[in-house]
Amino acid sequence: MTDSPNWERLQKALSVEADRGFGDLMGKQYRFSEFMVLSFGESLNMGTIAQRGCWQALAEEFLQYSHLSPEQRKTLLDKARSLLNELQGGTKAPVARELLKTKPIAAQVSQSYGTIPQLKQSLATLPEIRRRRSAKALERLGLHTVQDVLTYYPRDYLDYARQVSISQLVPGETVTLVGTVKRCNCFTSPKNKKLSIFELIIRDRAGQIKLNRFYAGAHFANRGWQEKLKRQYPVGSIVAAAGLVKKNKYGITLDNPEIEVLDSSGSSIESINIGRVLPVYPLTEGVTADVVRQAVVAALPAVQRIQDPLPPALRDSYSLIELPDAIAHVHFPPDPDTLTHARRRLIFDEFFYLQLGFLQRRAQQKALEKSAVLSPTGQLSERFQELLPFKLTNAQQRVVGDILEDLNSETPMNRLVQGDVGSGKTVVAVFAILAAIQSGYQAALMTPTEVLAEQHYHKLVSWFNLLHLPVELLTGSTKTVKRREIHSQLETGELPLLVGTHALIQDKVNFRKLGLVVIDEQHRFGVEQRARLLDKGKSPHVLTMTATPIPRTLTLTLHGDLDVSQIDELPPGRQPIQTTCVTGRQRTKTYDLIRREVVQGRQAYIILSTIEESEKLNLRAAVEEHKRLQEEIFPEFQIGLLHGRMSSADKEKALTQFRNNETQIIVSTTVIEVGVDVPNATVMLIENAERFGLSQLHQLRGRVGRGSHKSHCLLMSGTNNPDAKQRLSVLEQSQDGFFISEMDLRFRGPGEVLGRRQSGLADFALASLVEDRDVLNLAREAAEKLIMADNSLQDFPTLQQELERRYQKLIGGAILT
């Protein structure tokens, strides 16, 4: 199929629409949806019958785009991108017409040096590096050996492979021109004696263009140097010039062009900077782009020594090119299409080895470790089911089934339960806890904050009292006498369930028979903290929970060795929250809304953003704002205060007063983010909302809308930044935590979404968790098939060696979960 839609334009349009929040962007001529309909509609007479059917179906779906919700729009875009990737993978795009040939980089090096470097060879021993004395500069980038350079991938590219005539130049494009020198001049600027200007006028059959290069420095003003430069470009000689097309007051030109004089009109281009896709590398002070490119050129012949660890059958199954070709072409691709295939192979490898390591470790754990078999049925579970005043949602029932099936096996459970705010994760966890208790084992529930621990404790006590089961709370604020009592009851087995914070991992906390560990908001704990709690028992089953939905790509790269269940359904009766972005000019109206709600007997949160650099500033800001609101804005109401510097007793007192409606408004920092359940609260004002991530705002918003009354969330923005406004508008459009987390990932990237302190995120050289989701899913699938066939990988020794090298490098061998 040669007459398919323009792949690049379609993929770019899909990426931009997704990055901008699925708002049906308006282009120069058409809206996004109109452009997609027209693009697919133009293709209805092209390609195979099956492909024409795909184009028609997509065109019809995009006709309805304006009527779809943001979540449905995202699903349609994912479908379109997957289809384009699938069709593009089986299609060879036509190669651009070339006016001149570029000599292959590796051929140039082989001709120069005649020998192929060793992969472990020092860069300082390579003739080109030694001659240029650039080994020290390369060491600043951590590049010491030939292999280091080969795996130092470009961060971007300048596409000079497209050769056009002068009449075809379009500002903003990168191109290569070939023409005849009409005039050449070099002179010192009359306004600046230290600036020399080189002018070259070239022409082809379609027109002419003036090119300039500028040389700053007194020595370039030397007339002899200037005449020597002019002699390199005699009138009538053929030159190739590459650069970014720009338009200035004198017309079209190339910005700071690379220029090479050719032997004749049919000669090959020798320069590594002209007529090809030029790599752009990450640099540091004192290291130029040319130094890195020359090092890559010198090292490139060594790709012949690289052995591809992937079995040929696996490469063929997923249409992957061989590793030596991928590495050579990711540096100096002959054309954009080849670059696409090279990057796809290397991105696949980055994901594949991480997933293979996760799955192999999980398989080995299942084979070596044995856990207690916990009965899924019994009097406690049946009694609890009868006591519940509501029916479990279908999603809750499905997740409970997953968990109980895991517990009824001696293979250690290692399951992550994701659920949106208010989806009922705690109830699900109780079924697991009761399975442990009725089987004669103890359970522990650990949370990252005392506020959340106390919330869980109060809820569990209300249920466990009806079941005549004891439950205790252990935090840093627990009194010494009570602490000793808890320690004693744990060791004798009298206490079946302990809820707490990091206090659970202290040395004096010893369980008699720990069978289940539940960790809530597990991403807030470090690797060692989670491991120390697991050491309190003999391979206990582990259930981790999070109310912060994580996109599938992040889940796989962080928790690839976990089984994952999602509670993707809210209990009936939950009210949608009216979310509105407001500015400082609307503050009076915002306060009026809060006042109306409180007068009607409701309650309100006012959330202050935090400044990580200074807890003292946070404290002062919270205290001062509380005082201002109490004295100047809402003197008729009682206003509470809650912040992270308060003692546990004061925090609990503030929350209790708010739960009991003794305070109608509470001013709080983000300590309120999870675990606080006050159904009577119907309005939340979040100050400086642009300082928060979308997922965190969604978490905060979840503190309202928990009762039967209509609720409001007001996002007060202190900036006119259009990107910030665009981010916040996502919350106005959607209540779906999983969709919001996907958009958060797009806007901020994985590092910011998880927080700078989050450990365990693999550091990829090329892969993007936003753009390369399809490749990640394929890599996971390939790794699963390989592990199912042979989890020891003994039939693939080279693959096992590469796995060990990469896996240790990616995650440092740490146990993530």
Q: Is the pLDDT of residue 56 over 80?
A: no
Q: Is the pLDDT of residue 544 over 50?
A: yes
552 pLDDT tier (thresholds 50, 70, 90):
confident
103 pLDDT tier (thresholds 50, 70, 90):
low
Which has more pLDDT, 255 or 79? Answer: 255
530 plus 406 within the same structural domain: yes
554, two tokens: 């992040």
Within-domain flag for 239: yes
What pLDDT was estimated at residue 244?
92
Range with the poorest average pLDDT among 145-159, 305-319, 547-561: 547-561
528 plus 591 within the same structural domain: no
The domain that contains 274 carries what CATH number? 2.40.50.140
Give whichever of 113-127, 382-396, 572-586 has the largest mean pLDDT.
382-396
What pLDDT was estimated at residue 1?
35
Which has more pLDDT, 749 or 221? Answer: 221
Mean pLDDT within 721-732: 88
Q: Is the pLDDT of residue 327 over 70?
A: yes
Q: Is the pLDDT of residue 648 over 80?
A: no
Range with the poorest average pLDDT among 184-188, 321-325, 452-456, 592-596: 452-456
Say if CB 299 and CB 149 are below 8 A apart. yes
H/E element, 750: helix 737-754
647 plus 725 within the same structural domain: yes
231 plus 206 within the same structural domain: yes
112 pLDDT tier (thresholds 50, 70, 90):
very low
CA dihedral of residues 17, 20, 22, 25 (deg, nearest 10): -60
Within-domain flag for 509: yes
Cα atoms found within 13 Å of the Cα of residue 782, Cβ hemisphere only: 24
Q: Is the pLDDT of residue 227 over 80?
A: yes
Bridge partners of residue 445, in order along the sequence: 499, 518
Q: How far is CA 485 from the centre of its chain?
A: 46
What pLDDT was estimated at residue 742?
84
612 plus 701 within the same structural domain: yes
What pLDDT was estimated at residue 144?
94
Mean pLDDT within 547-552: 77
Q: Is the pLDDT of residue 46 over 70?
A: no
Mean pLDDT score of the chain: 85
Cβ burial 506-532 (10 Å sphere, 16+ → b, else e): eeebebebbbbbbbbbbbbbeeebbeb
402 plus 545 within the same structural domain: yes
What pLDDT was estimated at residue 274?
83
Enter the pTM of the model: 0.75
What pLDDT was estimated at residue 814?
43
d(Cα 22, Cα 38) in Å, to the nearest integer? 18
What pLDDT was estimated at residue 8?
67
Q: Is the pLDDT of residue 754 over 90?
A: no
d(Cα 305, Cα 301) in Å, to the nearest integer? 8
Q: Is the pLDDT of residue 781 over 90?
A: yes
276 plus 395 within the same structural domain: no
The domain that contains 634 carries what CATH number? 3.40.50.300
d(Cα 814, Cα 817) in Å, to the nearest integer? 9
386 plus 534 within the same structural domain: yes
DSSP-based three-state secondary structure for 640 = strand
What pLDDT was estimated at residue 92?
37
Determine the Cα angle at 747 with ends 742 and 751, to 5°.
85
Within-domain flag for 114: no
655 pLDDT tier (thresholds 50, 70, 90):
confident
Within-domain flag for 329: no
Range with the poorest average pLDDT among 31-40, 384-393, 627-636, 690-699: 31-40
DSSP-based three-state secondary structure for 258 = strand
Dump pLDDT digits (tens) for 155-207.
988 888 888 899 889 898 889 999 999 999 999 999 999 999 999 999 998 88
Which has more pLDDT, 562 or 466? Answer: 466
Give whichever of 516-520, 565-569, 720-724 has the largest mean pLDDT.
516-520
Q: 562, 559, 516: which is closest to 541 by C-alpha?
A: 516
Q: Is the pLDDT of residue 96 over 60?
A: no
What pLDDT was estimated at residue 2?
37
**What distances in angstroms separate CA 437 from CA 392, 398, 431, 488, one per listed residue?**
21, 21, 10, 18
Mean pLDDT within 506-519: 92
303, two tokens: 């790709």
Q: Is the pLDDT of residue 759 over 50?
A: no
d(Cα 802, Cα 807) in Å, to the nearest integer? 8
Within-domain flag for 285: no
558 plus 581 within the same structural domain: no
d(Cα 158, Cα 242) in Å, to the nearest integer? 10
**What distances in angstroms separate CA 288 from CA 293, 333, 409, one per listed residue?**
9, 21, 59
Q: Is the pLDDT of residue 114 over 60?
A: no
Which has more pLDDT, 581 or 334? Answer: 581
Range with the poorest average pLDDT among 235-244, 256-265, 727-736: 256-265
What pLDDT was estimated at residue 573?
67
> Helices 425-437 & 450-464, crossing angle to 10 degrees?
60
Give whichever of 51-55, 493-497, 785-789 has the largest mean pLDDT.
493-497
Q: Is the pLDDT of residue 277 over 90?
A: no
43 pLDDT tier (thresholds 50, 70, 90):
low
Cα(first)–Cα(last) distance of the chain, in Å? Answer: 47
Q: Which of 55, 89, 123 is the last residue of a domain?
A: 89
What pLDDT was estimated at residue 616?
53
188 plus 77 within the same structural domain: no
d(Cα 533, Cα 713) in Å, to the nearest integer? 37
Say if CB 326 and CB 345 are below 8 A apart. yes
Q: Which of 225, 248, 280 is the last residue of a domain?
A: 280
Query: Which residue range(s) make up the domain with 76?
Result: 7-89
Within-domain flag for 172: yes
Q: Which of 247, 280, 313 is the last residue of a domain?
A: 280
Within-domain flag for 495: yes
In this structure, the chain runs to a length of: 817
337, two tokens: 């299409």
Range with the poorest average pLDDT among 56-60, 184-188, 223-227, 443-447: 56-60
Which has more pLDDT, 517 or 562? Answer: 517
What pLDDT was estimated at residue 98?
41
Q: Is the pLDDT of residue 460 over 90?
A: yes
Sign for the pseudo-dihedral over CA of 26, 28, 31, 36: negative
Q: Is the pLDDT of residue 539 over 80?
A: yes
Q: 749, 766, 750: which is closest to 279 by C-alpha?
A: 766
Range with the poorest average pLDDT among 22-26, 244-248, 414-418, 808-812: 808-812
Within-domain flag for 213: yes
Say if CB 240 and CB 161 are below 8 A apart. no
233 plus 168 within the same structural domain: yes
554 plus 593 within the same structural domain: no
Which has more pLDDT, 63 or 201? Answer: 201
Q: 356, 404, 412, 630: which is closest to 534 by C-alpha?
A: 412
How many domains does one find in the chain?
Answer: 4
User: How does DSSP classify residue 211?
Assistant: E
